[in-house]
Structure formats: structure tokens, C-alpha cells
Chains A and B, each alone.
Chain A
């Protein structure tokens, strides 16, 4: 069975601190996709990144970076120099290769960045 675990329910940091959100997944598929979504207080889900199971290269986008390690089944998300606007719930998700739109979400990590 597929499963996504985000062990950190809530994280609170002070602005400008770096913060890493953990994501561990379980799947028996060899082809799968991993995602991160952001849900700000307004409620919508904002796509951040998608990686396929064959691409373990780390990715950096501005202050955001992602570390994908198949050996530990983890896909962690780091925000560098956090800002108040980063306050949101962040979801990690997994999908099978042939059902790319059927996402299995983790429980989410609520990040609070204080000024």
C-alpha cells in the first residue's frame, strides 16, 4: 500500500531561520511521483514541485530546496531564510506512475514563521 508520512505536525520558527519539513513515503511501485503543495491560510492548494522516481537530483528554487533520497524513501523540503509569508500548511504527496493525478497526501505540516 502507498503511504506518506509527515511526522512533524507543527513547526514554529522565527523569521530568517532555515526550516526543513520531512516527508517519508512508502510504495512498491518503481515508477512514482512525489509532490509538495502549500496551503496558505486562505485555503487554496498551491503546487510547489513534482519529482519522478528516476530523478534523484536535488532541486533549488529561490529560497526553496528539495532533497529526494530513494535509499531512505524521503523527500524533504527546506525553506532557507524563512519569511512570515511562508506560514502555511505544507503537504507532501505521492502518486503511482500510471495514476499521476490520484495523489496520496500526508497529513501536512503546519509551519508558523514569527516575525
Chain B
């Protein structure tokens, strides 16, 4: 158990809909990262928040947005969903902004778009 909690574990929805994925980092960790794992793109970095502020951005679509709240949990919002958004979405956390390098991953939220 990494200590990173993601909900929901599984989610099935339809094209055009909007979903929110939630992540609670390990106790004491200030950084939260979102990654997407799909069959065609592999594991891709989406975005990082550190202590409430956006720190780094990857290949995140404009239809996707994220935020980190004062209690350090984070949400990833996916809107106008397309079939290609079906993927496993991972949240990870680390104690600092990433210099130490060790990321602890949650078990992922599997999104299926029908």
C-alpha cells in the first residue's frame, strides 16, 4: 500500500460526459502528479501540483483540468469525453517538488468511455 488513495477505482461513462477523479496523497506529501496510461500512448505525465500551485505541465488536453486543494488532495476533471480518453489514470505523490524523485503511485482509476 503506497498510501496514495484514488477514487473511484472504476468508472464507466458515455462520450460527451464529464467526470472527476480524486486523489489523496500520502500524509505529508506536498506534490501530486497525474499520469495517464493508455494502450496507444503508454504512460504519460499530465500535470503536477505542489502545495496548491501548478508546477509542471505535460501532454494534458485542454478538455482536462486539475487542481490541488488546501488539504492537498487533488482532482482531475475530464470533460467532453471521447472514446480515446479511456485509460488508467494514476495519481502519484512526493514529499517535495520532485527533486527527491521518488514518486508513490496510487492504484489508479480506470475510466471507460462508451
CB distance from B5 to the nearest CB of A (A): 12
A residues less than 8 Å from B48 (CB atoms): 101-102
Q: Which residue of B lies closest to A44 (CB)?
A: B107
A residues less than 8 Å from B107 (CB atoms): 42-44
Chain B residues touching A, majority SS: strand
Contact B106 A44 (CB under 8 A): yes
Contact A101 B103 (CB under 8 A): yes
Contact B102 A102 (CB under 8 A): no
B residues less than 8 Å from A44 (CB atoms): 2, 105-108
Give Cα distance in the complex from A27 to B92, angstroms: 23
Given known A101-B92, A105-B43, contact A47–B104 (CB-CB < 8 A) = yes
Interface centre among A45, A99, A104 (most CB of B within 10 A): A45
A33 in the interface, Cβ–Cβ < 8 Å? yes
Bitwise, A84-115 to B at CB < 8 A (1) or not (0) is 00000001010101111111111110000000
A residues less than 8 Å from B103 (CB atoms): 47, 101, 103
A64 in the interface, Cβ–Cβ < 8 Å? no
B residues less than 8 Å from A103 (CB atoms): 35, 43, 45, 103
Give Cα distance in the complex from A62 to B47, angstroms: 34
Interface size band for A: 20 to 34
Contact A102 B45 (CB under 8 A): yes
Contact of B98 among A37, A42, A95, A106 (CB under 8 A): A95
Contact B56 A91 (CB under 8 A): no
CB distance from A32 to the nearest CB of B (A): 10
B97 in the interface, Cβ–Cβ < 8 Å? yes
Give 23 pairs: A residue, B residue, CB < 8 Å, sorted on A: A35-B101, A37-B105, A44-B2, A44-B106, A45-B108, A46-B105, A47-B103, A47-B104, A91-B43, A98-B99, A100-B99, A100-B100, A101-B33, A101-B55, A101-B56, A101-B92, A101-B103, A102-B45, A102-B48, A103-B45, A104-B45, A105-B42, A106-B42
Closest CB pairs A-B (n = 9): A101-B98, A100-B98, A45-B105, A105-B43, A100-B101, A44-B107, A33-B101, A50-B101, A102-B56
